[in-house]
Amino acid sequence: MGIRGHSNRYIGERTDSSQYLQNNILALTNNKSSSTVYTWVNGSSFLNYLWETDTNNSAFEINVNYNIKVDESSGISRNQYTEESTGDITDFNIKNDSKNRPNIIDFRTSYEHVFDTTGWKMSGGGSYGLVFNGKEFNQFNEMENEWILDPLFTNSYDYTEQNSSAFVEVSKEWDIIGFRAGVSGEYTSLDGYSNSLEKQFIDSSYALLFPSASLLIEPNEKVGITFSYNTGIDRPRFSNYDPFVIQEDSLMITYGNPYLRPEIRQTFGFNIDLFYKYNLSVNYSFAKNPQSNLSFIDQSTFLVNSTPWNAESNQGLNVSLSVPLKTKWMSAWNSVWVDYNKYSFTPIFGRSDFYNLTYGFWSYANFFLPKNFTLTNRFYVGKWGNGERKAQVRVHWGIRLTKKMLDNKFQIYVEAEEITPFVNRFEDFAGNYTGSSSNRWTFSSFRLGLYYKFGRLKQDAQIEESKSGNSDRI
């Protein structure tokens, strides 16, 4: 059993300046200042029980998990708009307070039976998950230097999700070949009640099956080839179900969608391992009902409405290669990956098919120099994107030189991080507009450090994280 938690508190201020053009002519300027206070706590606990039922490693397992998140934020946004043609100035000031309390309880049980020495294995089990969440959002308008609650944009709701599932799987290994095949099924029920509207806004359920299979071929101990097929589900985040309007500023309105469906994904994979070092992986995936943002701008007022919606499909091809290198004077881990995705949208999005190519190269290398010096080089170059955004190439580069003394108990090091600092630049694509943005958060830094080890280092306690498939949704 175990329990752990972590939290943070953020207080920040920010200024922004935006320009809006019509036919390449400056029409509107916005100068914005904002302040934010954010408190976040994430706690989890678990209980595992394992019973080995025979001498063939057959085992019965029970796993119970509990996750809670405390999410509170308060922000003030002050906007001043200048209409360039007339010089008219308009102020728009709002304050938002938000509270969120998602809780997740999971109970899982499974049994794997090993049939003597034949190599056949069969496993099965089931689970039950309960999610309950209470969310509150309050918006205030500034009137005569006082914040007045706006009932039109103030709301609270309670959300409950129940999930029951069962699975069965069989596997067998021979001398050079092995296989694994299974199927899981689940039933999910959703319920949402608005305290503000005093009515139910989510009442739905669905049942799904997820087959999977893999084939492993090992012609010798230095080569392994795997073919796989998997199906899975990606559920929306809880906040995306919230149907109420949030007005971030006078030019941005967002709201959730209680009719969102989960994304269903199928993946076909090929993987080859050589000499326990080199790895090549190729995967093709097809997703139905992927979530995207339905976003449109009013050309006369520049008001943007944005809400999550289910797109048509997403097809992706991923290729990754890992190549470690090791000699007497150096040890390096290198990997490269390439993703190509096609995003297809339903007619409501007003968008044609969208294509995106992303890639990355990562290298971490240690060079062992004379006199107990070590030079560490960290290098990454990559391009990121999704169905709504393309980013320019980014480069991260850092070097560290370490001198080891007294049998490595004492070290002196000097390092440089972000040797080539960059500016993030993005292109955004939506229903009837495109946009570009840039920001910078990386700067070159230099450090000089001393390290000394006292006594013996004890091993960290091995506390297992929650096995809940919902934990990343909060």
What percentage of the chain has pLDDT greater than the value 70? 95
Half-sphere exposure of 401 (CA within 13 A, CB side): 8
Q: Is the pLDDT of residue 461 over 60?
A: no
Segment 35-69, tens digit of pLDDT? 999 999 999 999 999 999 988 889 999 999 999 98
Mean pLDDT of the region 234-247: 80
* Least confident interval from 21-25, 104-108, 261-265, 279-283: 21-25
Burial of 346 (C-beta count, 10 Å sphere; 0-12/13-18/19+): middle
Q: Tell me 195's DSSP state.
A: T
Backbone phi, psi, residue 238, to 5°: -60, -40
Query: What is the chain's percent helix, strand, coil content, to nearest 5?
Result: 5, 70, 25
Which residues is 310 bridged to in the sheet?
Answer: 291
Q: What is the DSSP string of 250-294?
A: TTEEEE--TT---EEEEEEEEEEEETTTEEEEEEEEEEES-EEEE
Q: Is the pLDDT of residue 340 over 80?
A: yes
Mean pLDDT of the region 258-282: 93
- How far apart, in whole angstroms, are the C-alpha atoms of residue 253 and residue 440? 26
| Residue 287: predicted pLDDT | 97
Average pLDDT of the chain to the nearest whole number: 90
Q: Is the pLDDT of residue 153 over 70?
A: yes
Q: Is the pLDDT of residue 7 over 90?
A: yes
Q: Is the pLDDT of residue 469 over 70?
A: no
Q: Is the pLDDT of residue 229 over 60?
A: yes
Q: What's the pLDDT band for 396 if we cut at 50, 70, 90?
A: very high
Q: What is the DSSP string of 93-138?
A: EEEEEEEEEEEEEEEEEEEEEE-TTS--EEEEEEEEEEEEEEEEEE
The CA–CA distances, whole Å, from 191 to 21, 139, 158, 440 equal 44, 25, 8, 42
- How far apart, in whole angstroms, are the C-alpha atoms of residue 133 and residue 100? 7
Query: Which residue would you say has higher pLDDT here, 325 or 155?
Result: 325
What is the model's pTM?
0.78
Q: Which of 358, 355, 349, 357 is nearest to 430 (CA)?
A: 349
Query: CB atoms < 10 A from the CB of 249, how many?
Result: 19
- How far apart, in whole angstroms, are the C-alpha atoms of residue 163 and residue 129? 5
Torsion of the alpha carbons at 403, 407, 411 and 417, rounded to the nearest 10: 60
Mean pLDDT of the region 395-413: 93
- How far apart, in whole angstroms, are the C-alpha atoms of residue 439 and residue 445? 18
Q: Which of 335, 216, 318, 225 is nearest to 267 (CA)?
A: 318
Q: Is the pLDDT of residue 471 over 80?
A: no
**Sign, CA torsion 307/308/314/316:** positive
Structure token pair of residue 154:
């103030």
- How far apart, in whole angstroms, are the C-alpha atoms of residue 198 and residue 2? 40
Mean pLDDT of the region 394-404: 96
Segment 165-202, tens digit of pLDDT? 999 999 998 889 999 999 999 999 999 898 877 888 88
- How far apart, in whole angstroms, are the C-alpha atoms of residue 431 and residue 388? 10
Q: Is the pLDDT of residue 385 over 90?
A: yes
Which residues is 82 bridged to in the sheet?
Answer: 29, 89
Structure token pair of residue 141:
């308008």
- How far apart, in whole angstroms, are the C-alpha atoms of residue 163 and residue 199? 23
What percentage of the chain has pLDDT greater than the value 90? 64
Burial of 323 (C-beta count, 10 Å sphere; 0-12/13-18/19+): middle
| Residue 247: predicted pLDDT | 72
* Least confident interval from 15-19, 89-93, 107-111, 248-252: 248-252
Query: Which residue would you say has higher pLDDT here, 469 or 55?
Result: 55
Amino acid at 373: F
- How far apart, in whole angstroms, are the C-alpha atoms of residue 229 and residue 209? 14
